[in-house]
Chain A
Amino acid sequence: MTELTKLTLAEARDGLKAKDFSALELTDAYLSAIEKAKALNAYIADTPEKAREMAKASDARLSNGSAGPLEGVPLGIKDLFATEGIHTQAGSHILDAFKPAYESTVTANLWADGAVMLGKLNMDEFAMGSSNETSHYGPVINPWRVTGSNRDLVPGGSSGGSAAAVAAFLCAGATATDTGGSIRQPAALTGTVGIKPTYGRCSRWGIVAFASSLDQAGPITRTVRDAAIMLTSMASVDDKDTTSVDVPVPDYEAAFGAGVSGMRIGIPKEYRVDGMPQEIEDLWQQGIAWLKDAGAEIVDITLPHTKYALPAYYIVAPAEASSNLARYDGVRYGLRVKGDDITGMYEKTRSEGFGAEVKRRILIGTYVLSAGYYDAYYLRAQKVRTLIKRDFETVFHDGVDAILTPTTPNAAFAPGEITDPVQMYLNDIFTVTVNMAGLPGISVPGGLNADGLPLGLQLIGKPFDEGTLFRAAEVIERAAGRFTPQEWW
């Protein structure tokens, strides 16, 4: 029965439809896998009763012919998504015991299509982190280890629970969110597929806000096809989110197998950064060769403002976060710590409720928005953002269909290995440009390094052209193969 968990999302969906197994059998297989994988700390709230109840309802719909596109498929949900009556804390202490009275649009879309919820997944506190070490619920451990070693590694972040759960076969797919790389970087570090769609493709309603102009939801899955299936369900046009863009959602799976013949793939020279490990350069060259062999035309391009994306991000994102996180005041929800007066109560609640990284970003954000500094920091960063977006527009205008880069500058590292904040931020150096420009980006496994750890390749596309990314990513996936960790947990 445990083998059911090894199916891809597409295989599980098709097997359920063919009645090879029931939704309840599949759900039970995942629930027992989760039970055995506590060492990974991927789930922070299991919902087995809810899962079985949803699975039974799915079985009924599979029998009576009213099955949805994801009927009976068990998913893990990042703790950032509001789930009605169920643990939703953004991995933070300040949201202690918060159980929303509403459902996020993205998860509501998934349930409407028949998916089953297994539980809530661990994450960096308020999605701030690149290693999943900032969660109030403790770090997530990567299912991958260096060949022959038993040393723990981080899964990346902030969607580290989502990536680890998918890689370790603890769900058929997971929801995730990406503000500066939080879907793609953990996907790369765990050998999974992750797509951050165009800003406005998935509704942000009911997703705990970090930096509203950058946040986007997307799936992490084991294959490119699975990502396409999940995104088709997650994406929607939503009146509850004014930044949700009024573009119909295509069936992303329909374009599969079209290949990349005649496609123009841009290779940006600015992504060849100083001190980049040879294994990353080799991976990138391999990716170029695969796409070329499949009939794509490779063109050298320039994105001159690339190096300014990360510093601009670390002004814009903390500024928006400092404003978004002002709502956690000990009055409306979560933790309250008593003080001498109301201000003392606010200050103690926020001091105790937020972790070190969140406080650091709130202070940076408050500082750059404070009187006298706004123009020098925030306004300048937003102007730089315009220039970053213009770089991409120029390249796409010149006929490039998609851009190929490495996803991360390194493979998974050990917990505690990176303690310097700026060093940690540099893990998002290749992914953050995409959020700054609002573009779609996908990470697909490209191979293993000499230590046996997965590395990811990133494809960046035009706004609302996720279909092209799936086509190109599938070509890489077919050439590279799939990678699964050896079970030790």
Chain B
Amino acid sequence: MSVDKDTVLRVAKLARIAVSDAEAETMKGELNEILDWVEQLQAVDVEGVEPMTAVVETRIKMRTDVVNDGEKAGDIVQNAPLQEDQFFMVPKVVE
């Protein structure tokens, strides 16, 4: 499976990364090299093998259902590039 420039641009769009035509051309080569290299996994017989979901088998821990944190709106927005009255500010999204 190899990717063309349009696929690179489509994936970049999905990943929300602006990519110029020239960059897409370079990335196409690099991505194809990596994808060609991982192609060797097709040679492994994985018939009947369960995919790994956790390296250490443990039961999911249950926490006591109590309020132990919160009231930190100021802390949460303090690193935002733009904030007002403890809200994140974004460009207009609804006309």
Contact = CB atoms under 8 A, between A and B. Distances in A.
Interface of A: 97-102, 198-200, 213, 239, 242-243, 245-246, 305, 307-308, 311-312, 314-315, 322, 326, 329-336, 338-339, 341-348, 350-351, 354, 359-360, 362-364, 366-367, 370, 373, 376-377, 379-387, 389, 420-422, 436-438, 463
B44 to A, nearest CB: 5
A305 B42 CA distance: 13
A260 to B, nearest CB: 26
The A interface, classified by DSSP as helix, strand, loop or mixed, is helix
A350 B81 contact: no
Given A339-B91, A342-B90, A364-B34, A382 B52 contact: yes
Listed from nearest, the 4 A-B pairs whose CB atoms lie closest are: A438-B55, A382-B51, A336-B81, A101-B75
B87 to A, nearest CB: 11
A331 B88 contact: yes
B22 interface: no
Given A350-B17, A363-B8, A383 B51 contact: yes
Contacts of B38: 311-312, 314-315, 377, 381
The B interface, classified by DSSP as helix, strand, loop or mixed, is loop
A359 B30 CA distance: 11
Nearest to A315: B38
Contacts of B92: 342
Nearest to B60: A242
A384 B34 contact: no
B93 interface: yes
B67 interface: no
Given A243-B56, A315-B38, A347-B18, A376 B1 contact: yes
Contacts of B18: 344, 347-348, 350-351
B52 to A, nearest CB: 4
Nearest to B39: A311
B79 A334 contact: yes
A362 B61 CA distance: 31
Interface string B53-90: 11110101101000000001001101111100000101
Nearest to A377: B38
B80 A312 contact: no
Given A347-B18, A351-B17, A389 B55 contact: yes
A382 B58 CA distance: 18
